[in-house]
Amino acid sequence: MSPLSSVSARPKFWRDVRFLRWVFQIFVLAVVFGILYWIYGNYQTNVERSAVPTDFGFLDNPASFTIPGSDFDQSSPVSAAFVRGFQNTMLVAVVGIIFSTIVGTLVGIARLSKNFLVKTLASAYVEIIRNLPLLLLITFMNLAVVLQTFPRIENAWQPFDLFVISNRGLALPWFEGSGLILLLIFAASIVVSLVVMKIERARADRTGQKSRAGIFAILIILGFLLVGWMLLDYSWTLPFVDGRGTTGGLRMDPSFFALIVALVLYTSSHVAEIVRGSIQAVHKGQGEAADALALSPGQKMRIIILPQAFRIAMPAIGNQYLNLTKNSSLGATISYFELTQIAQITVGNGSPAVPAFTLTLFIYLAISLATSLIVNFFNRRLALVER
């Protein structure tokens, strides 16, 4: 410290900003804790008055309900029901995210099509779906489409004898028993095609010729699948009507089908808007720069615009994934056995409401947190790669 500076000028502590800042913060903290304490106090008195348990002991009690189409029965513990609910929520989330991304991206690009009809249809899709309540879409899919319009199982629709569609659900052909083999072959084909693509790109770079990497990749994957077919003979089953249900193939609950379709419709309409906005955001200056370099429209889209648009779109699309996961809780309104429905039923069966719903909320919070961590991870990677 400079010898010139005087120590006498320090303010009295009750006039010192640094001190006052802490006083203020401690005051705010006290108010927050006061409110929380008040709520907690109310909770204590109310719980004592009505003699409800506050711990998580209910998780070990028998659930006393069944989940149709599974080995979960009356005597299984409540905790097992929550695990089942969590699995179903994740199933809806993953399937929903995959299909929303595909549909949303296609519709988003279609909205920028030069073809008037394609553009108009895509816009109509987005504008109609986006402005409807999600619950209405879910209810509509469930009550109107599945339960009313789909036929009874006796006269189920069986297009090409491949599918069975009825108000008891959907059944699709499925690689029963050979799913793993198929997956392995598919993975191997992707690895090989990536290597070939790299070699082909390098060749194209060397010779200056056009790269045919994309075509090669598709041919390799198809080839692998075909060879696998001939050598290993995948076993797969077609579903068929069997009395009051279906046998074989992959069976989907009607409520699962209604929920997924509604969620994908709703989320994809939002994803489409994000995709369109991001492409347009990049398009202006960058598009002109690409034109100035005489890149073809295809090259312009692939090399210049889409990579950048993807980077812009990523955070917003991640948000939509989070929304979809949280919106899957509406499955409870059509009795799909996901997390919220499980919580609702167990509370209805006498489990204490506050612990049960707190547990549910924390599971959702954990899912949200995990999703945003994954999205952030990709975000950071993208940002690094593209920069």
Partner 1 sequence: MSESVFTDATKMSGDRKAEDAIVVMRGVVKKFKDFVALKQIDFAVGRQEVVVVIGPSGSGKSTLIRCINRLEEHDQGEIIVDGTELTTDVKNIQEIRKETGMVFQSFNLFPHLTVLDNISLAPRQVRGMPKAEAEELSRELLERVKIPEQADKFPAQLSGGQQQRVAIARSLAMKPKVMLFDEPTSALDPEMINEVLDSIKQLASEGMTMVVVTHEMGFAREVADRVVFMADGEIVEVGTPTELFDSPKEPRTQKFLAQIL
Partner 2 sequence: MILWLRRNLFRSIWDSITTIVFGGIALWFIWISIEFVFITGRWEIVEVNLKLFLVGRFPEELMWLIGASMVAIAFWVAAVAGGSPLGTEPRLRLGERIVDYVRRFGLIFALAILLVVLSNSMESLLWLGLIGVGVIAGRVVGRMRRDNKIIQKLPGIIWQPMIATPAIALVIFTLLESTLELWGGFLINFYMALISIILCFPLGLLLALGRRSSFPVIRVVCTTYIELIRGAPLFVLLLLAGVALEFFIPPTISPDAVFRGITVFTLFTAAYLAEIVRGGLQGIPSGQIEAGKALGLSTVKINSLITLPQALRSVIPAQIGQFISLFKDTTLAGVALNLFDVMTVGKVITKQDDFLGQGLIYESLIFVGLLFWVVSYVMSKESQRLEKRLGVGIR
CA distance 376 to 387: 16
User: Among 2, 50, 74, 148, which residue sits at the site for partner 1 (rule: CB under 8 A)?
Assistant: 2
CA distance 266 to 134: 7
DSSP state of 323: H
The structure tokens listed for 121 are 């249809």
Please, what is the minimum distance in Å from the beta carbon of residue 336 to partner 2?
13
CA distance 303 to 328: 36
Q: Amino acid letter at 324?
A: L
DSSP letters along 304-320, please?
IIHHHHHHHHHHHHHHH
Choices 188-196, 257-265, 293-301, 349-357; region in contact with partner 2 by CB under 8 A: 349-357
Choices 6-14, 95-103, 181-189, 217-225; region in contact with partner 1 by CB under 8 A: 6-14
Return the number of other C-beta atoms located less than 10 Å from residue 160's C-beta: 7
User: Among 66, 79, 123, 368, which residue sits at the site for partner 2 (rule: CB under 8 A)?
Assistant: 368
Which is closer to partner 2, CB of 42 or CB of 299?
42
| Of 339, 345, 336, nearest in space to 366 by CA | 339
Please, what is the minimum distance in Å from the beta carbon of residue 23 to partner 1?
11
Interface with partner 1 includes 16 (CB under 8 A)?
yes
Estimate to the nearest angstrom the gap between the alpha carbon of 165 and the chain centroid.
Answer: 25
User: Among 47, 153, 312, 375, which residue sits at the site for partner 2 (rule: CB under 8 A)?
Assistant: 47
DSSP letters along 227-257, please?
HHHHHH----B--EEETTEEESSEEE-HHHH
Would you tell me the crossing angle of helices 78-110 and 254-292 to the nearest 10 degrees? 40
- What part of residues 285-324 is at the interface with partner 2 (CB under 8 A)? none
Interface with partner 2 includes 182 (CB under 8 A)?
no
| Of 335, 337, 344, 341, nearest in space to 143 by CA | 335
Interface with partner 1 includes 11 (CB under 8 A)?
yes
User: Among 107, 272, 330, 342, which residue sits at the site for partner 2 (rule: CB under 8 A)?
Assistant: 330
Choices 8-16, 273-281, 334-342, 362-370; region in contact with partner 1 by CB under 8 A: 8-16
Interface with partner 2 includes 23 (CB under 8 A)?
no
CA distance 50 to 38: 18
CA distance 167 to 233: 33
Judged by beta carbon distances under 5 to 8 A according to partner kind, the member of partner 2, partner 1, none in contact with residue 46 is partner 2
Interface with partner 1 includes 210 (CB under 8 A)?
no
The structure tokens listed for 94 are 């993953």
For binding to partner 1 (CB under 8 A), which residues are involved?
Answer: 1-6, 9-11, 15-18, 20
For binding to partner 2 (CB under 8 A), which residues are involved?
Answer: 21, 24-26, 28-29, 32, 39, 42-43, 45-47, 49, 114-118, 121, 127-128, 130-136, 139-140, 143-144, 148, 326-327, 329-330, 332-333, 340, 343-344, 347, 353-354, 357, 360-361, 364-365, 368-369
